[in-house]
Amino acid sequence: MVTETGTAPIKVEKKLRYSGTDFWIKVRHAAKTAGRELIEKCLWLHYAARRPDTPAWAKATVYSALAYFILPTDTIPDFIPGGYTDDLAVIAGAVATLAGYIDQQVKDRAQQRLAHWFD
């Protein structure tokens, strides 16, 4: 994208942002490789963020963590052995922060989805 600055046009990079569609693509693709535990926690965050009583700060935390998860070029690339270690750390931190919004209903929804992929 090119933006006028008053003197000369400059190129502005598109910002990376969370996408629900990208989340589902990544989860489906990485389910077996990343493992049930990581995918379960990602689903907890996803469903917790969709609750109407989850505050904006908590949703921002979720979307930041999930954006990191779907980002293909993170600290440890996902395609190498152990590549999901950094993703797990970020997701675990978000889960700990949002523990009050991850209720049994959220866990049940995640479990239903997991059963479809893993059982």
Tens of pLDDT along 38-68?
A: 889 999 999 999 999 999 999 999 999 998 8
Residue 9 placed within a domain:
no
Domain that holds residue 90: 17-118
Residue 10 placed within a domain:
no
The string of DSSP letters for 31-90 reads HHHH-HHHHHHHHHHHHHHTSTTS-HHHHHHHHHHHHHHH-SSSSS-TTSTTTTHHHHHH
9 secondary structure, DSSP code: E
Residue 34 placed within a domain:
yes
Residue 112 placed within a domain:
yes
Residue 3 placed within a domain:
no
Total domain count, the chain: 1
pTM reported for the whole predicted model: 0.72
Percentage with pLDDT > 90 across the chain: 43
Residue 44 placed within a domain:
yes
